[in-house]
Structure 1
Amino acid sequence: MRIAMIGTGYVGLVSGTCFSEFGHDVICVDKDHSKIDALRQGEIPIFEPGLKTLVRKNVDAGRLTFGTDLGAAVRSADAVFIGVGTPSRRGDGQADLTFVFEAAREIAAAIEGYTVVVTKSTVPVGTGRQVQDLIASLCDRDMFDVVSNPEFLREGAAIEDFMRPDRVVVGTSSEKARQVMEAIYRPLSLIQTPILFTSLESSELTKYAGNAFLATKITFINEIANLCEKVGADVHDVARGIGLDGRIGPKFLHPGPGFGGSCFPKDTRALLETSRMVETPLRIVDAVIDINENRKLEMAEKVIAACGGDVDGKKIAVLGLTFKPNTDDMRESPSLDILPKLQAHGARIHAYDPEGMKEAALLLTDINFCDNAYQTLDNADALVIITEWNEFRALDLDRVKQSMKTPVMVDLRNVYEPDLMVERGFSYTCIGRPVR
């Protein structure tokens, strides 16, 4: 199949590259000429494990190309995927569909033969119908079908998620479009991946409902962690205990400083706004958003408490700035709330992140960025772990202790065992676990 992917951001670049790995001929299109030039030179604009190698492999094989001419890409394609950004709109939290509709207009102007237009971007319920009506106003209705095909990619594991997904969801009422999508995803059918065909609306809502449910699980275990701290229970034991129930499952039951990233915050807000527009309250989602925002600030209070109630003039060493490991994505990261609050209380921040410091420098001010984890620790009054990168899981604790002014560690990801840290002479604070 010949595929045009509109947009070379996270969704577009990963999806287009993986489609080419399936054996399809793919062109990824973007209006940013400098980005396309860089991609042609093998420079990848995002950090995603395995992506650079996969791009190079398929470019060399002639299956993956990059361009700026959307019209030419559409005219030669069997399917055109819209993979542009849908950021939260200021004021109401709804997804901003400006780029989606702009792409749809340009696609409509270029269609010459039957084409399947696929919304890969995360869009609110009803967007597919709007895209269909927009294209139909500019193009013969028999020349196209609009399909919803949401992505379910975890940053840091996107290649594996695309190549071996839990499921593929496709929203269409057209048998002709269904056949095209079946051909595109045939490599996954061969490994018995469930492919669910639904209506446009059901497909669009599935994406939002899935992310809202996962965000709810995270928020639930964070609140249980707070309760554990009050009653002397261990949240890890509780999470394992409930996770062994097949109806609940163990995933997304890891306590921490709150969820962030490009999906959960944006998608929960957009889903809530959709519910308000149709006057159907989603009180659970509303509570999840509120609790998560407050939790990030509560983590700053936890650090201040661990430092004796005062961080004024104190040096705080911070390990991890991105919202999760194995990505350079700083969007909605807990660090963006935690660190400014510590600074407002007079703290001096020295931080290190393996991949996120370039992005962090655009979003945080007055941060001393360091070359490695140990450089942050020199004469530090406290160490705070915000992101659980693998290289932070086995720090030389003797070196850590010797480097610091006071051996205070605030572990917001529960990387270390409380008993071990106490034995090694640390004043240790974690999430939802008793420290004796």
Structure 2
Amino acid sequence: MRIAVVGTGYVGLVTGTCLANVGVTVTCVDIDKEKIQKLNEGIIPIYEPGLEELVRKNTSQNRLSFTTSLKDSLKGADAVFIAVGTPPNEDGSADLQYVLAVAEEIGKSINDYIVIVTKSTVPIGTSKKVSEVVQKSLNSRDVKVDFDVASNPEFLREGNAVQDFLQPERVIVGTDSERAKKVLKRLYRPFIESNHPVLFMDIFSAEMTKYAANAMLATRISFMNEIANLCEEVGANVDNVRKGIGSDSRIGSKFLFPGAGYGGSCFPKDVKALVRTADEFGISLEVLKAVEDVNYKQKQVLFYKIKEHFNGNLEGIKIALWGLAFKANTDDMREASSLVLIDLLTKAGAEVVVYDPVAMDECRKRIGNKVDYAKGQYEALEGADALVVITEWDEFRVPKFTYIEKRLKNKLIFDGRNLYEPAIMNEFGYTYYSIGRKEVKA
């Protein structure tokens, strides 16, 4: 089979590379000439474990290529995947200009039957809009070409995207066409044969499934963050509560870890978009509106813990920050809790020095010299009044506390991901604040 994938961000690049890895001939398309040139040179624009090796493997075996020409990539293609960005508008709705622009170009370029697949996260009803735009382009050319539009939402976790694609819990395909279903069934046959479920359904349901899944996960996180805040007040330990409720098979143990709020490219954007879609239909999703509000407040929790510890005055206080990415194993800082914390700390007069294993360059692009950048995690601690951990990188989980003690002015840690045990912190003589657990005083 031959396919084209438009967009070489997280979704498009992972999708194209992983489909090439199961034998499909894939052309990835992007209007960014510099990005395409780098990809052709083997330079990957994003950090995603395992992706670079797969890109090099499949380009060397001529199953994966990169181009700026959409028209050329569609010649002989069975399907074209739209995997461009859908950033939020000011009102929270998804901006479809890039998706519809690609649809228009497809209509200008196709001459034979093709399945057009929306891989980008798009609001319910977008596939219909894509179909209308493609047909309008065909009409302007005064040609008749058969095509179908299908929905194939992605469920990739950044930091685990390659594994999630190659070993999916499920693949969702929305189509109202038997012809398109036949094409996509053939495309995903390697996954069907390896017992990974491919669920076919109508297009609207497929589009809704993506938003509903992310909204449910975001809800679980915000719920646990509220429970954690209550635990601190009543003297309970959220770790025990989490294990207790997670042992219930009706609830399960995943996405029950409290922290400093969720971020990334999916949860914040998708919750907003689903709320906005519901508003357009006259339905107010009160639970999800509360989820947004809780998450906004949770991103500020560490700041207020720090401020309270220093008696409300952070002027001249030096804070070492471990972690910048919104989660471990990615350099993505979209909606990252670190950005909120840095902004609050610097506005309050604190000096901030940061370290992250892979997101330092991304941070420089976003906030420039607003903070100081350390060469290593322990170098960040030199002369700092406190350490704040905000991303759960593995190298932060079991640090050398003797190194920390020697470099910090005070044995003081604020842990936004509950990486350390309060009892051990007490044993080591630290003052230690975490989420949903009683603070430890030295």
Q: Give the TM-score normalised by structure 1.
A: 0.98
Aligned equivalents of 2:241 and 2:310: distance in 1? 28
Equivalent residue for 2:435, pick from 428, 431, 435: 431
- Provide the identity percentage: 50
Q: Which amino acid aligns with 1:398?
A: T
Judge which range, 108-117 or 356-365, deviates more: 356-365
Question: Does the 8 Å contact 2:111/2:145 carry over to 1?
Answer: no
Q: After superposition, what is the alpha-carbon deviation per residue over 1:216-262, rounded to whole angstroms, capped at 9, x for unaligned?
A: 00000000000110111111111111111111111100010000000
Where does residue 104 of structure 1 map in the other structure? 103
Q: After superposition, what is the alpha-carbon deviation per residue over 1:109-153, rounded to whole angstroms, capped at 9, x for unaligned?
A: 111111000000000001001111111223367610000000000
Q: Give the TM-score normalised by structure 2.
A: 0.97
Question: Does the 8 Å contact 1:307/1:408 carry over to 2?
Answer: no
3-state secondary structure, aligned to 2:299: helix
Equivalent residue for 2:362, pick from 336, 346, 359: 359
Aligned equivalents of 1:426 and 1:186: distance in 2? 55
List structure 1 runs of 4+ shifted beyond 6 angstroms.
none
1:287 correspondence with 2:286 = no
Q: After superposition, what is the alpha-carbon deviation per residue over 1:319-359, rounded to whole angstroms, capped at 9, x for unaligned?
A: 00110010000000001111110111111001100111111
Where does residue 333 of structure 2 map in the other structure? 330
Equivalent residue for 1:299, pick from 302, 316, 338: 302
Q: After superposition, what is the alpha-carbon deviation per residue over 1:186-213, rounded to whole angstroms, capped at 9, x for unaligned?
A: 0110111111111111111110010000
Cα-Cα RMSD? 1.1
Aligned residues: 435
Aligned equivalents of 1:407 and 1:307: distance in 2? 14
Compute the displacement of 1:424 (Å): 0.5
3-state secondary structure, aligned to 2:133: helix
Aligned equivalents of 2:409 and 2:199: distance in 1? 57
1:420 correspondence with 2:424 = yes
Where does residue 121 of structure 2 map in the other structure? 122
Equivalent residue for 1:368, pick from 347, 368, 372: 372
Q: After superposition, what is the alpha-carbon deviation per residue over 1:361-407, rounded to whole angstroms, capped at 9, x for unaligned?
A: 12224200000011111111100001011111111101101111111
Aligned equivalents of 1:260 and 1:276: distance in 2? 23
Where does residue 211 of structure 1 map in the other structure? 214
Map residues 24-423 of structure 1 onto 2, 5 A cutoff.
Answer: 24-89=24-89, 91-139=90-138, 143-364=146-367, 365-423=369-427
Aligned equivalents of 1:105 and 1:35: distance in 2? 22
Compute the displacement of 1:433 (Å): 1.4
Aligned equivalents of 1:265 and 1:308: distance in 2? 32
Aligned equivalents of 1:307 and 1:385: distance in 2? 17
Q: Which amino acid aligns with 1:375?
A: E
Aligned equivalents of 2:249 and 2:100: distance in 1? 42
Unaligned runs of 5+ in 1: none
Q: After superposition, what is the alpha-carbon deviation per residue over 1:391-433, rounded to whole angstroms, capped at 9, x for unaligned?
A: 1111110110111111110011010000101110110001111
The 1:156–1:319 alpha-carbon spacing in structure 2 relative to 1, beyond 3 Å, is: same
Q: Which amino acid aligns with 1:325?
A: A
3-state secondary structure, aligned to 2:343: helix
Aligned equivalents of 1:141 and 1:409: distance in 2? 66
Aligned equivalents of 2:237 and 2:345: distance in 1? 27
Compute the displacement of 1:435 (Å): 3.8
Question: Does the 8 Å contact 2:124/2:207 carry over to 1?
Answer: yes
Q: After superposition, what is the alpha-carbon deviation per residue over 1:295-334, rounded to whole angstroms, capped at 9, x for unaligned?
A: 1122211122233433210110100011001000000000
3-state secondary structure, aligned to 1:355: coil
Q: Which amino acid aligns with 1:263?
A: C
Aligned equivalents of 2:10 and 2:157: distance in 1? 11
Where does residue 12 of structure 1 map in the other structure? 12
Question: Does the 8 Å contact 2:110/2:145 carry over to 1?
Answer: no
Question: Does the 8 Å contact 2:172/2:206 carry over to 1?
Answer: yes
Q: Which amino acid aligns with 1:103?
A: V
Q: After superposition, what is the alpha-carbon deviation per residue over 1:1-34, rounded to whole angstroms, capped at 9, x for unaligned?
A: 1010011111100000000001000000111111
Aligned equivalents of 1:28 and 1:37: distance in 2? 12
Q: After superposition, what is the alpha-carbon deviation per residue over 1:260-281, rounded to whole angstroms, capped at 9, x for unaligned?
A: 0000000100111000001011
Question: Does the 8 Å contact 1:307/1:382 carry over to 2?
Answer: no
Q: Which amino acid aligns with 2:300?
A: L
Question: Does the 8 Å contact 1:116/1:146 carry over to 2?
Answer: yes
Aligned equivalents of 2:292 and 2:306: distance in 1? 22
Q: After superposition, what is the alpha-carbon deviation per residue over 1:141-186, rounded to whole angstroms, capped at 9, x for unaligned?
A: 7610000000000000000000011101011010010010101100
Aligned equivalents of 1:321 and 1:65: distance in 2? 32
3-state secondary structure, aligned to 1:281: coil
Judge which range, 297-306 or 278-287, deviates more: 297-306
Aligned equivalents of 2:52 and 2:310: distance in 1? 42
Unaligned runs of 5+ in 2: none
Aligned equivalents of 1:145 and 1:299: distance in 2? 49
